[in-house]
Structure 1
Amino acid sequence: MRFAFHKMHGLGNDFVVIDARSAPVVIDAGVARGICDRRQGIGCDQLILIEAADGADAAMRIWNPDGSEAGACGNASRCVAMLLGDGAAIDTPGGRITARVAGDLIEIDMGLPRFHWEAVPLAYPLDTLDVPVGWGDLGHGTALSVGNPHIVFFVAEDAEVDLATLGPLIEHDALFPERINVGVARVTGSSAIRLDVWERGAGLTRACGTGACAAAVAAVRRRLVNGPVTVTLPGGDLEIDWTPGTSIRMRGPATHVFTGEADLGAFA
């Protein structure tokens, strides 16, 4: 079976996007790993499948390079919104999101963040605003769910953190029964953060939209910044706007690189 795909990226966080609303495409963990493989597949940080949905314009499923599925992906959401158009409502495993296309920028309503330990989830009750555990140079992070689980650590602006080593240790720690995305944030201004992310199932990435949302929300909750917050990632900037009790709004670019076709059987 042949399928068409779009190669897209948000700030260098790149995706293979398959629109299967009219012609279903069956994806499993093995096929996802094959498509994501940068040497023997098409190559991407995540594989995105757009499917038909009841009550929404589309549903979005997200596979990581290790074959696991993710609940949310902010950068991919902007790419899917670019394909669907202004006002699109998109169902994700982490909840429904809505999109507004404003020129070269796309704004996504990412929904409400969740702070209860069971919603993150953690393995047992802890204060999610200041998690009293540490790994190496990282400790006392803020844990939350923005459709997928995150823990954000705030460090000094000049601190050096070996996230390539600590990231997988934290991701797979027993404290996080569904694993976790790990952010290391540095406050660089009254409304500015610099962020690096170890992404669950994918590793270090040039940009993580949900990671930027989590870091901005955590910083506002800890009274480190005022919103809206500019989050600078290795791939560029995202603007995150959140006040307590409201939905997170993420604004940033999306880029369509090329379209192609491939044989699904080549990745089985």
Structure 2
Amino acid sequence: MAEPATAVPAAAGSGRALAFSKMHGAGNDFVVLDRRCGAVPPSPELCRAMADRHTGVGCDQILTVEDAQRPGALAGYRIWNADGSPAGQCGNGARCVAAWVLRDVRRRGDDEPLRFHLDSPSGRHEVEALGNGGFRIALGVPRFEPAAVPLTGFDAPRERYVIAAGGSILEVGAVSMGNPHAVIEVDDIDSAGLEVIGPRVQGYPGFPDSANVGFVQLLAPNRIRLRVYERGVGETLACGSGACAAVAVLVRRGRLAREAAVELPGGTLQVAWPSDGAPMTMAGPAEFVFEGEWAA
């Protein structure tokens, strides 16, 4: 894989080229920018331009590598959706940031840690390098309290919520993985009507911050299929936090083992939730695609 272009990250309109890395985790693809030098955050206009698959680089989300928020972390990161809106968490993106940061360590000639921490908008995450481009990320303890999702109109957590969204009466699970998720269990994921139901759930007034909408099909006690319609993006080939959300909801219903394989259109992720009070972990690949410069 080619080394990154040598360029100083710059804000849009500065007249300098903006170095970036194109990466993906199980098909969920990203443009990665280095903000550790103090560059301003990408504007919504820049995010939309870079994310455009016809006239830009093309990606689901923009990731910015940041300085650690507190001592003890190797780096931090932030997430920006394709429409320019900020996001609280991205499991596949976290693995890509981990790979990007370790490559930077390697280029400096320093020893690469096998375990380290990254700071995100939703907290600090332990990372384990698995070799061959794989990483395991601890994404935190799922939160089911309606106020934490957030989901309005309900006072206490339920395994199933019945909502009226855009003319559809739906039964959903709701959980926060640092970002809001609605999970819909279906018999056949291929005929789930994701393109119709996804936007309806996202527009449901009870999800004031919208939601990532996951459609999950149980295949076996330790295996599921999943498609996710993400906030500010649409359907993606994979969603790491969505995989954790789906496992958490089905574990709470007693329908899935605490360690499960999650089959997504872009690949399979391994998710584990050892106990109710333990952080969920998610393991999968992180791949470099190419390096480039954006004419800022």
**TM-score bracket relative to the smaller structure:** over 0.9
1:141 CA displacement: 1.1
CA deviation vs aligned residue, 1:14-70 (integer Å, no higher than 9, x gap): 000012213524312111111111122211100001111232222211111111110
Aligned to 1:60: 77
Aligned to 1:236: 267
Aligned to 2:148: 119
Match of 2:282 among 250, 256, 268: 250
Aligned to 2:116: 88
Q: Distance in 2 between matches of 1:158 and 1:78?
A: 26
Q: Distance in 1 between matches of 2:87 and 2:187?
A: 30
Query: SS state of the match for residue 46, structure 2?
Result: helix
1:159 CA displacement: 7.0
Q: Distance in 2 between matches of 1:190 and 1:134?
A: 30
Match of 1:131 among 147, 161, 181: 161
* TM-score, reference length from structure 2: 0.85
Query: SS state of the match for residue 132, structure 1?
Result: strand
Aligned to 2:243: 212
Aligned to 2:194: 163
CA deviation vs aligned residue, 1:125-159 (integer Å, no higher than 9, x gap): 25442112254677221100001000101111477
> Quick check: 2:32–2:62 contact (8 Å CA) kept in 1?
yes
> Quick check: 1:3–1:25 contact (8 Å CA) kept in 2?
no
Query: SS state of the match for residue 219, structure 1?
Result: helix
* TM-score, reference length from structure 1: 0.93
Query: SS state of the match for residue 114, structure 1?
Result: coil
The 4+ residue runs of structure 1 with deviation greater than 4 A are 134-138
Query: SS state of the match for residue 161, structure 2?
Result: coil
> Quick check: 2:214–2:226 contact (8 Å CA) kept in 1?
yes
Task: Name which of structure 1's ranges 119-128 and 135-144 shifts more when overlaid on structure 2.
Answer: 135-144
Q: Distance in 2 between matches of 1:88 and 1:43?
A: 30
Task: Name which of structure 1's ranges 185-194 and 23-32 shifts more when overlaid on structure 2.
Answer: 23-32
Q: Distance in 2 between matches of 1:241 and 1:138?
A: 31
Provide closer, same or farther for how the CA distance between residues 184 and 84 of structure 1 changes in structure 2, counting only shifts above 3 A: same
Counterpart residue type for residue 207 of structure 2: F
- The equivalences for 1:11-50 within 5 A come to 11-22=26-37, 24-50=39-65
- The equivalences for 1:100-119 within 5 A come to 100-104=128-132, 105-119=134-148
Q: Distance in 2 between matches of 1:80 and 1:220?
A: 28
The total of aligned residue pairs comes to: 264
Query: SS state of the match for residue 35, structure 1?
Result: helix
Counterpart residue type for residue 237 of structure 2: R
Provide closer, same or farther for how the CA distance between residues 240 and 134 of structure 1 changes in structure 2, counting only shifts above 3 A: farther
Counterpart residue type for residue 129 of structure 1: E
Task: Name which of structure 1's ranges 33-42 and 236-245 shifts more when overlaid on structure 2.
Answer: 33-42
Query: SS state of the match for residue 215, structure 1?
Result: helix
> Quick check: 1:157–1:188 contact (8 Å CA) kept in 2?
no
Q: Distance in 1 between matches of 2:178 and 2:199?
A: 20
Structure 1 unmatched runs, 5+: none
Query: Quick check: which has more Rg, 1 or 2?
Result: 2
Aligned to 2:90: 73
Provide closer, same or farther for how the CA distance between residues 137 and 189 of structure 1 changes in structure 2, counting only shifts above 3 A: farther
> Quick check: 1:137–1:161 contact (8 Å CA) kept in 2?
no
Query: SS state of the match for residue 169, structure 1?
Result: helix
Counterpart residue type for residue 115 of structure 2: G
Query: SS state of the match for residue 292, structure 2?
Result: strand
Counterpart residue type for residue 5 of structure 1: F
Structure 2 unmatched runs, 5+: 1-15, 103-113
Q: Distance in 1 between matches of 2:213 and 2:41?
A: 30
Counterpart residue type for residue 164 of structure 1: E
Aligned to 2:12: none
Provide closer, same or farther for how the CA distance between residues 153 and 221 of structure 1 changes in structure 2, counting only shifts above 3 A: same
Q: Distance in 2 between matches of 1:90 and 1:103?
A: 18
Q: Distance in 1 between matches of 2:75 and 2:242?
A: 23
Q: Distance in 1 between matches of 2:159 and 2:121?
A: 24
> Quick check: 1:133–1:140 contact (8 Å CA) kept in 2?
yes
Aligned to 2:180: 149
> Quick check: 1:231–1:239 contact (8 Å CA) kept in 2?
yes
